[in-house]
Amino acid sequence: MPVEESIDLHAFTPRDVVSVVEEYLEAAARKRYREVRLIHGKGTGAQRAAVRALLARHPRVESYSDAPPEAGGWGATRVTLKPEPE
C-alpha cells in the first residue's frame, strides 16, 4: 500500500485498525512525514478511542489532536511525528 500523508481507516476491519495504524506510522516516519492524518470516522467513537490509545503510547508520536473542521474534525486525528534521528 502506498504511504501518503493520510490514511482512511474505513477500508479496514475494526480488529485490524490498530495494527494498520502501527505499520502506517512506521512507514510515514521512514518517509520523514512530520504530520499525518488518520481518518477513523465519527460513528460511536470506538475506533477513535482505539486509535488514540495507540497514539498515546507510540514512541514515534510527538502529539495528536482532532483534525481541523475542513479536514474531518473529530472524525479524523492529526498526528505530529517525532523527527527521524539522523
Query: Taking each helix axis from N to C terminus, what angle separates 46-57 and 17-30, rounded to the nearest 10 degrees?
Result: 50
- Residue 84 is predicted with a pLDDT of 73
How many beta carbons lie within 10 A of that of residue 28, not counting itself?
21
- pTM, two decimal places: 0.92
6-81: in CATH 3.30.1370.110 = yes
**Mean pLDDT per 10-residue section of the chain, whose length is 86 residues:** 89 94 95 96 92 97 96 95 81
Half-sphere exposure of residue 80, counting CA atoms within 13 Å on the CB side?
A: 5
Residues sharing a CB contact under 8 Å with residue 76, sequence separation 6 or more, in sequence order: 6, 37, 38, 39, 40, 66, 67
